[in-house]
Structure 1
Amino acid sequence: MTMAMLQRRANVRLPPEVNRVLYIRNLPYKITAEEMYDIFGKYGAIRQIRVGNTAETRGTAFVVYEDIFDAKNACDHLSGFNVCNRYLVVLYYQSNKAFKRIDVDKKMEDLDKLKTKYNLNDEKK
């Protein structure tokens, strides 16, 4: 990359949700990591790919790029890309949203424990 290209990149202001980690949904269940590298590697150097392998995570993957601009380029071009008659959903990974659901589940679990402890139920008398 030339110095002029690097300077232009330094002046580009990316939206706050853009980051190096992409979250991919609607993948074919039988897709391999090698196939993922073939698809996503066209947009830049990849640090890591994690393909979901449990009942809850099948059809999803995380792709971590070395460079944030490569991740943005991949997200822009691969969202809606057809792989084995499935259209990919490519999003930027946002940890605050991912953990928010876990927090809600934990709070509901804690609430249920308190209800049991104090012998409360949801029925109105």
Structure 2
Amino acid sequence: MAAPNFPQKSFRLPPEVNRILMVRNLPFKVSAEEMFELFGQYGAIRQIRLGDTNETKGTAFVVYEDIFDAKTACERLSGYNMMGRYLIVLYYQPHKHNKKVDVARREQELRALKEAHGL
């Protein structure tokens, strides 16, 4: 069996690069079709999830099939003007999101303890 043919250049992607992009500052009236049209220019998309609650409106997650397509889209669409709004495109980092959830949960626990002990 022949060895796989890998490119001669070896390079490493930054650790935050992944297939999932988090998009902020979206126009509230943007449709999924418009998102697929814009982000689909950079590669095959597995899924797009638009925020639909008051807290998540104006945000979306875009999941690409390939990490390099996600990297290209992030680089090219960050700052893109869509319907008068400049998009903020970031790599989704679940460990950072989970830390925020943990902090909120911990603050709630501390409030409950203060109330229980009359502080």
TM-score by length of 1: 0.88
SS in 1 for 2:6: helix
What residue is the counterpart of 1:65 in the other structure? 64
Matches within 5 A, 1:42-121: 42-120=41-119
1:62 Cα deviation after fit? 0.2
1:9 Cα deviation after fit? 9.0
Sort the Cα spacing of 1:71 and 1:56 in 2 relative to 1 into closer, same or farther, 3 A.
same
Aligned mates of 1:9, 1:49 — CA distance in 2: 34
1:12 Cα deviation after fit? 2.7
Aligned mates of 2:48, 2:101 — CA distance in 1: 23
Aligned mates of 2:115, 2:61 — CA distance in 1: 39
Query: Which has the larger share of helix?
Result: 1
Aligned mates of 1:68, 1:11 — CA distance in 2: 16
* Matched residues, number: 115
- Which 10-residue stretch deviates more, 100-109 or 54-63? 100-109
Q: Give the residue type in structure 1 aligned to 2:89.
A: V
Gapped regions of structure 1 (runs ≥ 5): 1-5, 121-125
1:8 Cα deviation after fit? 3.0
Q: Percent identity?
A: 59
SS in 2 for 1:62: strand
Give per-residue Cα distances to partners, 1:85-115, cap 9 Å, x unaligned.
Answer: 1000000000011111111110111001111
Aligned mates of 1:7, 1:78 — CA distance in 2: 29
Sort the Cα spacing of 1:9 and 1:15 in 2 relative to 1 into closer, same or farther, 3 A.
farther
Q: Flag as ranges the 4+ runs of structure 1 deviating above 4 A.
A: none
Tell whether 2:11 aligns with 1:12. yes
Q: Give the residue type in structure 1 aligned to 2:77.
A: L
Sort the Cα spacing of 1:9 and 1:34 in 2 relative to 1 into closer, same or farther, 3 A.
farther
